[in-house]
């Protein structure tokens, strides 16, 4: 309805009802934050080298010398090989002859793989899925695949969540997602194999997206226009950032991946009572023709805010808009006309680019100089001022110009990294993270504003789905470091700048009423 906001304006801006909805939905976003990046520590790669079995009867000096030294792709002093050792029978023969390691010309000694497994350094991680199932050397491809499996679950959730939420309601999907997330996270603790872990991790990603996407849309539709901007760009994102900051703190205190999962799973129990305090979206109910249910929620809200509702909240004109009942929304409607198709395709390209840039920087924290826990915490901390700035931009500035400038800036920072000494890269990465976080925050709210109520969650779900395709690919951008340290920065930076330019085609939504029907959408190109 074009005048839904005016019909419910009597509730006020910041009463008890709005405060309750705002704070509870922001709190609901906290688990989404620490779950989304948990793979940084669950699948952390400790330093390792080939295991020399005790039965080899080698002295510590010979044991240390049995591992060859190799130069890393990033330069620096040679380090012990991760995946090879000198042929053990040869080393034992030298030892039995009474030689010292310094007496041997090691360049002539043959090498072999880690036939007896690996020995992992436990100074940073007591245990991770990498050390649990030896996801190193010939099996190192399983590590980025583990991350991609999680985001495949996120992709699947994005694909079906929007349509289910538009059909069955926003509130139900919030708690369905919470249930899937809680159960699969609990089962993850008892994983007997890497395959089982991946299956459960897929479901964790699916539930996480169900909950976060529906929470975002529910808050956007329950709150007033001005408060909606604060929620979309500041509130729910701060909840996510708080969860993200909790992750390195918990991982620092709990170095075993199974016990870390216990700590991440338990808070889900605290959200069960939220069912009785978070209502369904009256805007969605009215668009589905459920006028009586919508009015009941509005009257309950008025009672909480100590205001008297009008006798008739939704006028006959508003009721006629939803009659006859419309068919359930379909994702094909997002390309049903040239205008809708142009907006959708542009956003479908923009979302994965923003996601790849955001995750590329976030997942790379373990590869930066310094402490992995501190780097991850800083990466999360920098999001706090970024979300405050995005709130300022979203309230007073052009959406289109903001997305262009911040995404372009993030890309430029990443391109500059390769031109400076390696010790200074963390500063530029944090600046890129700051810029892309602002862009990510604005894109979410921007998408919600561009689509009408009848398609809003389906559209957000489809855009999120495209973003998750980017998240599936993102771990492999980081994997390219094994070939060249600069390669991920160059690829992600160029992609960010290119899509920043393309985003200028989108229509402007700042200061425009939230559309409810297809014919109320802005024109493309803007």
Q: How far apart are CA 514 and CA 225, in angstroms?
A: 8
Q: How far apart are CA 223 and CA 17, in angstroms?
A: 9
- Across 105-118, average pLDDT: 86
Task: Name the least confident of 148-162, 234-248, 397-411, 493-507.
Answer: 148-162
Q: How far apart are CA 295 and CA 8, in angstroms?
A: 10
Task: Name the least confident of 35-44, 180-189, 280-289.
Answer: 280-289
Please tell me whether residues 409 and 515 are part of one structural domain. Answer: yes
What is the residue range of 269's domain? 1-31+143-310
Is the CA virtual torsion 479, 484, 485, 489 positive or negative? Answer: negative
- What pLDDT score does 322 carry? 47
Please tell me whether residues 107 and 3 are part of one structural domain. Answer: no
User: What total number of domains does the chain contain?
Assistant: 3
Task: Answer whether 376's CB lies under 8 Å from 366's CB.
Answer: yes
- Across 406-421, average pLDDT: 88
Question: How far apart, in Å, are the Cα atoms of 394 and each of 353, 427, 516?
Answer: 20, 26, 20
Pick from 310, 343, 363: which residue ends a domain? 310
Indicate the pTM of the whole model: 0.82
Closest CA to 454 of 380, 519, 357, 375: 519
In a domain, 125, yes or no: no
Please tell me whether residues 339 and 263 are part of one structural domain. Answer: no
In whole numbers, what is the pLDDT of the chain averaged over residues? 84
Per the model's pLDDT, the better-predicted residue between 328 and 137 turns out to be 137
In a domain, 306, yes or no: yes
Task: Answer whether 68's CB lies under 8 Å from 172's CB.
Answer: no
Contacts (Cβ under 8 Å, ≥6 apart) of 219 = 21, 22, 25, 228, 231, 232, 235, 236
Task: Answer whether 359's CB lies under 8 Å from 474's CB.
Answer: yes
- What pLDDT score does 364 carry? 84
- Within 13 Å of residue 156, how many CA atoms lie on the same side as its CB? 14
- Across 313-325, average pLDDT: 53
- Across 424-435, average pLDDT: 87
- What pLDDT score does 251 carry? 93
Please tell me whether residues 115 and 213 are part of one structural domain. Answer: no
pLDDT in tens, 197-209: 999 999 999 988 8
- Across 314-343, average pLDDT: 64
Task: Answer whether 361's CB lies under 8 Å from 432's CB.
Answer: yes
Please tell me whether residues 185 and 250 are part of one structural domain. Answer: yes
- What pLDDT score does 36 carry? 87
In a domain, 385, yes or no: yes
pLDDT in tens, 252-309: 999 999 999 999 988 888 888 988 888 888 888 887 777 878 888 888 888 888 888 7
In a domain, 254, yes or no: yes
Please tell me whether residues 13 and 61 are part of one structural domain. Answer: no
Using the predicted structure, report yes or no on whether residue 320 has a pLDDT greater than 50.
no
- What pLDDT score does 319 carry? 47
Task: Name the least confident of 8-17, 207-216, 435-444, 489-498.
Answer: 8-17
- What pLDDT score does 318 carry? 47
- Across 406-429, average pLDDT: 85
pLDDT in tens, 9-21: 777 788 888 888 8
- What pLDDT score does 2 carry? 43
Type and span of the H or E element at 112: strand 111-112
Q: Reduced to 3 states, what is the DSSP secondary structure of residue 69?
A: strand
Q: Which two tokens stand for residue 350?
A: 């923009």
The CATH number of residue 414's host domain is 1.20.1250.20
Type and span of the H or E element at 24: helix 16-28
Please tell me whether residues 362 and 481 are part of one structural domain. Answer: yes
Count CB atoms within 10 A of the CB of residue 214: 31
In a domain, 305, yes or no: yes
In a domain, 159, yes or no: yes
In a domain, 451, yes or no: yes
Task: Answer whether 11's CB lies under 8 Å from 18's CB.
Answer: yes
Most confident of 6-15, 173-182, 430-439, 508-517: 430-439
Using the predicted structure, report yes or no on whether residue 77 has a pLDDT greater than 80.
no
Q: In this structure, are strands 48-50 and 69-70 parallel, antiparallel, or unpaired?
A: unpaired
Type and span of the H or E element at 363: helix 338-363
In a domain, 466, yes or no: yes
Please tell me whether residues 380 and 461 are part of one structural domain. Answer: yes
- What pLDDT score does 433 carry? 93
Closest CA to 379 of 198, 194, 240: 240
- What pLDDT score does 76 carry? 61
- Within 13 Å of residue 205, how many CA atoms lie on the same side as its CB? 28
Q: How far apart are CA 35 and CA 185, in angstroms?
A: 9
pLDDT in tens, 445-469: 788 888 887 777 778 778 877 888 8
Using the predicted structure, report yes or no on whether residue 336 has a pLDDT greater than 70.
yes
Pick from 57, 89, 120: which residue ends a domain? 120
Count CB atoms within 10 A of the CB of residue 280: 20
**Cβ density class 421-436: b for 16+ within 10 Å, e for less:** eeeebbebbbbbbbbb
Using the predicted structure, report yes or no on whether residue 485 has a pLDDT greater than 50.
yes
Using the predicted structure, report yes or no on whether residue 85 has a pLDDT greater than 80.
yes
Please tell me whether residues 465 and 500 are part of one structural domain. Answer: yes
Please tell me whether residues 91 and 178 are part of one structural domain. Answer: no
Please tell me whether residues 237 and 355 are part of one structural domain. Answer: no
Pick from 89, 120, 151: which residue ends a domain? 120
Please tell me whether residues 426 and 513 are part of one structural domain. Answer: yes
What is the crossing angle of helices 257-265 and 236-253, to 10°? Answer: 140
């Amino acid at each position: 309805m074009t005048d839904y906001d005016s019909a419910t304006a009597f509730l006020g801006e910041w009463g008890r009802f709005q405060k309750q909805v705002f704070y509870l939905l922001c709190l609901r976003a906290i688990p989404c934050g620490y779950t989304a990046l948990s793979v940084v520590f669950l699948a952390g790669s400790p330093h390792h080298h080939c295991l020399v079995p005790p039965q080899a009867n080698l002295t510590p000096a010979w044991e240390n010398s049995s591992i060859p030294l190799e130069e890393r792709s990033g330069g620096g002093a040679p380090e012990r090989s991760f995946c090879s050792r000198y042929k053990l029978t040869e080393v034992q023969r030298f030892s039995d002859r009474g030689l010292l390691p310094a007496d041997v010309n090691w360049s002539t000694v043959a090498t072999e793989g880690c036939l007896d497994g690996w020995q992992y350094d436990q100074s940073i991680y007591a245990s991770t899925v990498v050390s649990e199932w030896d996801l190193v050397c010939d099996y190192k491809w399983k590590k980025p695949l583990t991350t991609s499996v999680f985001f495949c679950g996120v992709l699947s959730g994005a694909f079906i969540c929007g349509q289910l939420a538009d059909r069955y309601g926003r509130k139900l999907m919030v708690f369905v997602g919470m249930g899937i997330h809680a159960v699969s996270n609990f089962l993850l603790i008892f994983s007997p194999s890497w395959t089982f872990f991946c299956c459960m991790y897929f479901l964790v990603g699916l539930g996480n997206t169900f909950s976060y996407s529906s929470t975002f849309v529910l808050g956007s539709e329950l709150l007033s226009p001005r408060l909606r901007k604060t929620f979309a760009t500041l509130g729910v994102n701060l909840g996510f950032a708080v969860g993200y900051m909790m992750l390195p703190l918990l991982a620092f205190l709990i170095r075993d991946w199974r016990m870390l999962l216990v700590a991440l799973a338990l808070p889900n129990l605290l959200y069960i009572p939220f069912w009785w305090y978070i209502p369904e979206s009256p805007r969605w109910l009215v668009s589905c023709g459920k006028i009586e249910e919508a009015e009941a929620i509005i009257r309950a809200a008025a009672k909480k805010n100590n205001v008297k509702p009008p006798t008739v909240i939704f006028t006959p004109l508003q009721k006629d808009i939803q009659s006859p009942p419309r068919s359930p929304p379909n994702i094909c409607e997002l390309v049903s006309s040239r205008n809708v198709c142009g907006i959708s395709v542009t956003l479908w390209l923009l979302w994965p680019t923003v996601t790849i840039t955001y995750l590329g920087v976030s997942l790379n924290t373990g590869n930066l100089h310094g402490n992995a826990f501190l780097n991850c915490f800083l990466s999360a901390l920098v999001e706090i001022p970024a979300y405050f700035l995005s709130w300022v931009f979203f309230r007073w500035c052009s959406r289109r110009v903001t997305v262009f400038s911040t995404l372009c800036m993030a890309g430029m920072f990443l391109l500059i990294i390769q031109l400076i000494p390696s010790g200074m890269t963390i500063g530029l990465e944090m600046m890129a993270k700051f810029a892309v976080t602002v862009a990510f925050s604005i894109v979410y709210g921007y998408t919600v504003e561009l689509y009408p109520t009848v398609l809003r969650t389906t559209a957000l779900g489809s855009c999120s789905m495209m973003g998750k395709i980017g998240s599936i690919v993102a771990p492999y951008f980081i994997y390219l470091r094994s070939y060249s340290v600069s390669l991920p920065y160059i690829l992600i930076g160029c992609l960010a700048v290119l899509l920043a330019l393309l985003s200028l085609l989108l229509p402007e939504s700042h200061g425009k009423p939230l559309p409810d029907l297809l014919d109320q959408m802005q024109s493309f190109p803007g």
